Structure 1
Amino acid sequence: MKTQVGIIGSGPAGLLLSQLLHRRGIDSVVLERQSREYVLGRIRAGVIEQGAVALLREAGVHERLDREGQIHEGIGISFGGRRHRIDFKALTGSCVTVYGQTEITRDLFEARDAAGGVIVREAEDVTPHDIKTDAPWLTYRRGGDIHRVDCDFIAGCDGFHGVSRRTIPPAVLRTYEKVYPFGWLGVLSRTPPVTHEVTYNHHERGFALCSMRSKSLSRYYVQCSLDDDIAEWPDERFWDELRRRLPEDLARALVTGPSIEKSIAPLRSFVAEPMRHGRLFLAGDAAHIVPPTGAKGLNLAVSDVYYLSRAFAAWYGSGDEGPLDAYSDTCLRRVWKAERFSWWMTTLLHRFPENGLFGERIQLAELDYLVNSKAAMTALAENYVGLPY
């Protein structure tokens, strides 16, 4: 098989890149280790920056997003038993859209199917070859046979545990990582959200987040120990703990129900540099991870795809190699700003017992400053709705 761009991974980054390239007349083949059902079964966040919405619109996958997406003009932050609102629209003139990552992935699958896009599912042992040459290629195993894909470029969109980043020699690759000493216990339930906007809650018992996927589907999180066993958290215990961490008005309004999905996720900040080696380009979680506090994971993947799709278009359109050569540096400038923001939101809102009483009071002082300073609220709002590409 021969194509112009070989894409590893059929998450939103790989599918969006394939769709954008198709609309520019550039061929691609997507290789995915898992089945489509598995990919669509992964529960992920759904707060979308306006830049990401614009790129999905450019890709032609906006019809259901426009119909079902919820426009949020702000977020809530509670501490000391009181709620405060950060008004994005008033502070920046912009907003965010709540639309689940699973739904974006489903829309992209349907768009690639309609266009006759090639997506090879259950492709095992995907391996890039000759990435430092002008003729890289991929191999994968399926049905007991080894297959080969010849291409001009390879896009590694295969996540944190994928093969793409590991293909870059250790002498070239440099990584930066911070692992946080807690996790998020998340519950998805068919219940109406307790608030109409995402609400972040700082509490002496730990952080809590009230989010949603739709008007009838809620997503809640509580900070927990990494040593916790999910079996130790039956629904009743989760709802009781969540109530304790919410302001009284939200605790009273909370509607509970059976969990559809429940999981514990560790939090980390991670960046790999460079994001290009030869003709291999990393995008999304293959290159960087952020704690979910700032809602930047999917949005960073989309911004990588924005830069990479335009770089490929310049090369195929006019032979201009400049955007390809600048890809890593261009992406990383935005990546590190999002890493900073996500780290700041995480350290601001979570409990860090190791920081002692002094650290607790510093957190409360910073929260109080934030909600009483237009400049501080504007800085948060600018980063949350998304810095420009």
Structure 2
Amino acid sequence: MTLAAFLRHLAFCAALAAISAVMVRAMISARVMDVPNARKAHRNPTPKGGGVGVVVAFMLGIAVLYGTATFSRIADPYFRGVILASAAIAVVAFIDDIRDWPFTVKLGAQLLAALAAVGSGLYITVFRLPYIGPVDIGWWGIPATVAWILFATNAMNFIDGLNGLAAGTALVACIFLALIAQSQEGWFVYFAALLLASGLAGFLPFNFPRARIFLGDVGSQFCGFVLAVLGVAAARFGAVEMSFLLVPMLLSGVLFDVAFTLIRRAVAGERVTQAHRSHLYQVAQRAGMDANVVAMVHWGFAALGGVVALLFVHAPPERKPMLALLLLVPQLVWLAYVASRARRANLGAW
């Protein structure tokens, strides 16, 4: 890619960030309020739905990409599947921000959006593994891809509980994903990651360090869904063994927190679909850690995942599993630290 082309991309992204900011400001005026309750960290009613700016910026950008770009296109069925599924998840999540639907309704809508993406042909059937080579799992790739999309979508939704945490983490992940995709000439993933980053860049100043508006389900679910779909597309980088791990590495902090919390609650016999405040990031904040610091810790996890992912791309095949597992170390350290603070704060079983 030439410097001139890169600068054009940045100018286009800056324009989308400005559009996102305008939409976020409009949503503040619309005053779709998030009312505090026992499971939320904020104390005063605050507007939500700021993710509308992220969605509008991304969808405008993807429409331009679909209509005019040639270097960054994927096959039309995949392209249409991404656009329609992303729009569907955004609309349903925005209605949920207004009506506060039960989790089962949200999950059903997410499932339909995931099936729309998979139905367009965007799913994984072949995993390229070191020492073993390509492993074709056939039709099992369809439910595996759907499960990944649902988990990543909800993980980003669950992690959106402190100012700037979800949006900042997704922004860092998008920047690194664009860098990785550019190095592999995965131009659709590159451009789509930049588009999502643009929308988040327009939103984040309104949400961190002080929140004038929250991302809302429309933003958190949308970001999780788009990153999950880009993870499926990145899994097709033919020159990189185990490329299906790239986006999970970028979201390692989010995925670890959600997976650990779900497992811990299931083992304790709690309903995993019931609202709670026992995610690690929530426990850290309840134990006295500054909320902005907790958010920046997760930004750091995403940045570390990005650095390791860049090394992963160029590492010899035999070292890739070790690099991926390396990201568990900071998560285990974080878990130990949060548990220690919880004990000192007498939070009991959280």
Between Structure 1 and Structure 2, which shows a larger proportion of helix residues? 2
Q: TM-score w.r.t. structure 2 length?
A: 0.35
Structure whose CA Rg is larger: 1
Between Structure 1 and Structure 2, which shows a larger proportion of strand residues? 1
